[in-house]
Structure 1
């Protein structure tokens, strides 16, 4: 089992870059790192308040109880008063420390979650496609929950105990450095060994967090895909996958037990040695001090105080040993969340970013090649020009590169070589804000939020009811909306499950129309539409494509027939380029595809036209006449 715990595509923050992670922590969550001096002071006061008890016991014994005199009662009362005051002070400091750390930690984790979500939205599409969504969700939920659990269950106690252990060690040394030296040497050796074990445990807990993330992904798919599982009778296969994921997680958890148990065993041995040595040697030297140097002699009160201080030294050390697993689990979760923030942002902004020119956007590709990872190029040596306001259809068999071309134009993929220009501006230099306002894609399966139709149409756009009504009417969707029980207030369900595929497309088209882009990419937007809704979708598409540069990834040839120009893709290259009338009239790939499509169409019934044929070709209802001149810069 691998112990390397960095998610694919995220920043690799190994031990050598721990300083970078801490700097990022100070930058992103200043509330957690500010005021550390006060936090340390409160921990010292809380720890020192506990240590007052052994000192008051020594004072009461040596100056009163063991040597009675007229002022014994006053001595004892004074010692008890000081001890009580120290205990109260320690309690107040501990309460303040708990409140301070809890509030700051929860504030910091909430900020970390919010910043993590924001950074996820900024990750480049190409990198984001390699990241399992369940892993990203796990990093910002269960991984950070491990930090919360640790802080609430022992984080503050660990801090106070560390301060208490340091103060107790100093006092033991002050009472008798001869007794303290072996004890501190054993404790130091234990801490050194623990540090080595800590590195192993940390790596293994990182693997545990990754296995938990993978398990959540498998369970999530089994739940969301329950309809497919039941309808196909694959319950056994689904359960086997879940069982395997659960077993891998359990195995990773068990893998952490060996170093943890080793650490606990070594801790018990070292702690037992420290306690036994100080008790036996201290009592021996105190009761038989004639045989030892006078400097080793301890009074009865000092001996009792020494024995109590051993408890105050050993107990925190023992808790530190026992909490190693919780500490490393929290550190692993925190590191995985920080890796999200450390992932480079793909946002294009600032002085170097450029705006797209006004009006319909021209598209120019020069010797462009695109590949997915280390795979062979999906697009090769493309040189294509699309005029402003032109409607271009892209056709080809499955795997020919059509959808890759759509992803390239919408910055979901970056060219490995060559230049992609939008309106004369390199696509990588276009500011995010300009790109979002001017370029839009309608995918095959649009994503809808679990909200109303109106909310989905208005998502991400500043619009009001009037703008919404205008869009619905302009796309001819009013008749469909009126058939719904709640009209525009109809809830669509998770991912739009309460709507048909065609109805989801209608909502997506209305949402895109409200954005009013100048470059529209339709990625087979009608491929899954049922016949009953197809007429509405085609009418909406016809209205939406008017007056803007449009690239339609055509699944059906009816879209290609009514486009200004057609690009025929085959094995990642454009093999034909021209209008429908020219391409269908001469032998070639397009004529073959069209012939096959016509045969299926005649067998299955007529296919509605994508726009009203009564409107003259080349007429732009928004911007006036459009050019029908074919781009002679394109691949022949």
Structure 2
């Protein structure tokens, strides 16, 4: 049927950092450029800020060795020059740090804003099966809370960490230049600390990723508990819901606690190593710089050199201490940024419009759409059992088809094949003779539309919900199109009965409207799309009788002249169709008109008889001919 995502989010979760960065460079080059934009200047400013701080020990050494330690020297001039150089270096470091902070904050916020915008666009381009396999709260978390962790890290010390790293490298070089004997054990111990921290970083990183995943699950549980409050109260399941939320809270807390052990271990080991380095330099430097040791020829240090080394060690261990202490924040930010990047590089399965025939995307021919399924079998997941088997169906342009069958017979799967929400395991789905999976997304999107049982409405007005489907050509054009659609579908009396007419707000997910009224808005929105293939997942189920009349009139106007497939949960829908497909256990068992099928023994006659018996005591039976 067409290309499906090669790797989902679950697969990318196991991708190495190097491979993930390669995917970012190859799949989102614009974002990759945004992430490294201005990096050379940023590193240069970090070098200037770090070097400016390192100048202080050198000026102290100069003052001691050329002023205090030399009788008759120009002490005031030496100290003055040392102070002037130190002050200039400090001011330079402050200016470089200020500029660096400004650049990093702006750059990071700009990059994160671009990631959020690109993430939403990428999310809308994902194949339905890919996005449906992940909880909405997890997808939301990847573009909000996870990226917020990066912002928090940068604002709370990310720049300081960068400058400290530069400062630590410069200090290590100067210590080695002054005395390799003192530098060797210090740098050796630091190397061992880095190796240990690298292992701990891997553990901490994995556990922070698990913690962020647990927090997304918690957000999902809390969101469902809030969104479903009416159902929870009506079914008296408060205790069960609270238990589910409590379990999610405990899982999130446990995931956070699992981070603490390696994090605390790294901090304790780091403090011990740093204290050992400092003590060694102080004791060994003072002891070995004396005049009565066998180290004297190789290690004799002046007072200025010794003090400078002690200060340089401070400049070395302080950023090292910062590195250790900020390990947790850094790994949390890395885990958050990684989760966002995973979403951005997830293959969309999109079919581009620019491919040449035979190599990719094809346009969908204009006009009414005919449908053909050739030996199609379908299943959910690679190893899932088949839901549809050996399906051969031909639907003529403009024909209205009803699909009936018991729950689990394959009706919804059939609809998903037509709308590309599911790819066939075997066989081929053709629209106007073109394989559905090779039709360009832009060509497919506005030509094939589904109206679900419970359509989604945004928390805006009725007019704004309908006009979402309008091709923007100015406000006047939109309102004119709205008026035309309302008139064509016979919705003006209903809209006029509302307090604010088309400007009535629908509430969150349309909660201020009845089920039938939500369907009327969805049908008007679909009419503006003006599709050539319309899939209706029983748009009238759960609609009250009064509104059902309006819905049926709107449906009659909407389906006229269009190829229509109705997933029928009520037999009255099947009665009005040109043709009926009867599914049973994943197979097409009957195909024909209502009048033909109802007279012969078979699955359809049984379903229709059961429906008549069920509705006879509640609503007088009506055929399509009795409905205006």
The TM-score bracket by the shorter chain reads: over 0.9
- Aligned structure 1 segments of 4 or more residues deviating by more than 4 angstroms: 9-12, 24-27, 607-614
**Equivalent in 453, 462, 465 of residue 453 of structure 1:** 462
Deviation track 1:595-617 (CA, whole Å, cap 9, x = no partner) reads 12222232112356657767xxx
- In 2: Cα distance, 1:260 partner to 1:524 partner: 55
After TM superposition, list the pairs within 5 Å mapping 1:123-272 onto structure 2.
123-272=126-275
Deviation at 1:512, TM superposition (A): 0.5
Given the alignment of the two structures, is residue 511 of structure 1 paired with residue 525 of structure 2, yes or no? yes
Match of 2:587 in 1: 573
* Structure 1 Cα separation of the partners of residues 306 and 532 of structure 2: 86
- Cα distance in structure 1, aligned partners of 2:106 and 2:351: 35
* Deviation by residue 1:136-170 (Cα, 9 ceiling, x = unmatched): 11111111111111111111000000000011111
Contact 1:541 1:610 in 2 (8 A): no
Q: C-alpha displacement at 1:447, in angstroms?
A: 0.6
Partner of 1:14: 16
State the alpha-carbon separation in 1 of the partners of residues 23 and 263 from structure 2: 26
**Match in the other structure for 1:413:** 422
The residue number in structure 1 matching 2:538 is 524
TM-superposed deviation, 1:44: 0.9
2:378 matched to 1:364?
Answer: no
Alignment correspondent of 1:496 = 510
Of 471, 487, 508, the match for 1:473 = 487
Q: What does 1:286-435 align with in structure 2 at a 5 Å threshold? A: 286-289=289-292, 291-349=294-352, 350-351=354-355, 352-373=360-381, 374-435=383-444
Contact 1:11–1:340 (Cα < 8 Å) also in 2: no
CA distance in 1, matches of 2:180, 2:44: 26
**Structure 2 Cα separation of the partners of residues 608 and 150 of structure 1:** 66
- Indicate if the aligned counterparts of 1:539 and 1:612 stay in contact, CA closer than 8 A: no
**Equivalent residues of 1:126, 1:414 under 8 A apart:** no
Structure 1 position 62, deviation (Å): 1.4
How far 1:181 sits from its partner (Å)? Answer: 0.8
2:3 — aligned with what? none
Equivalents in 2 of 1:365, 1:438: separation in Å? 18
Distance of aligned partners of 1:469 and 1:524 in 2 relative to their CA distance in 1, 3 Å threshold: same
CA distance in 2, matches of 1:307, 1:11: 45
List per-residue Cα deviations over 1:249-307 (Å, max 9, x = no partner): 11111111221122112212211111011111111122345542323111111111111
CA-atom RMSD, angstroms? 1.7
Distance 1:497 1:460 in 2: 21
Structure 2 residue corresponding to 1:438, chosen from 447, 451, 454: 447
Partner Cα separation in structure 2 for residue 8 and residue 437 of structure 1: 31
In 1: Cα distance, 2:291 partner to 2:569 partner: 99
CA contact (8 A) 1:9 1:128 kept: no
Distance 1:254 1:450, change over 3 A: same
How far apart are residue 31 of structure 1 and its match? 2.4
Aligned equivalent of 1:621: none
Contact 1:29 1:108 (8 Å CA) reproduced: no
Q: Secondary structure in 2 aligned to 1:459? A: helix
Cα deviation, residue 36, structure 1: 2.0
Report if aligned partners of 1:49, 1:90 keep a CA contact under 8 Å in 2: yes
User: CA separation of 1:305/1:70 partners in 2, compared to 1, >3 Å: closer, same or farther?
Assistant: closer
Partner of 2:598: 584
Query: Does the CA contact (< 8 Å) of 2:575 and 2:623 recur in 1?
Result: no
Distance 2:518 2:593 in 1: 31
Match of 1:633 in 2: none
Partner-residue secondary structure (3-state), 1:482: helix
**Secondary structure of the structure 1 residue equivalent to 2:520:** helix
Question: Which consecutive residues of structure 1, in runs of 5 or more, have no partner in the other structure?
Answer: 1-5, 615-636
CA distance in 2, matches of 1:612, 1:333: 60
| Alpha-carbon shift at residue 419 of structure 1 (Å) | 0.7
Give 1:532 deviation, angstroms: 2.0
Partner-residue secondary structure (3-state), 1:256 = helix
Contact (CA 8 Å) 1:353, 1:430: kept in 2 or not?
yes
TM-score, normalising length: structure 1:
0.93
Q: 1:66: Cα distance to partner?
A: 3.4
Tell me the SS of whatever aligns to 1:585.
coil
Unaligned residue ranges in structure 2 (runs of 5+): 1-7, 473-477
Secondary structure at 2:362's aligned position in 1?
coil
Match of 2:281 among 274, 278, 281: 278
Distance in 2, Cα, partners of 1:391 & 1:589:
20
Q: Does 1:605 align with 2:619?
A: yes
**For residues 261 and 424 of structure 2, what CA distance do their matches in structure 1 show?**
48
Closer/same/farther in 2, CA of residues 222 and 611 from structure 1, 3 Å limit? farther
Mapped to 2, the partners of 1:129 and 1:378 lie a distance apart of 18
SS at match of 2:617: helix
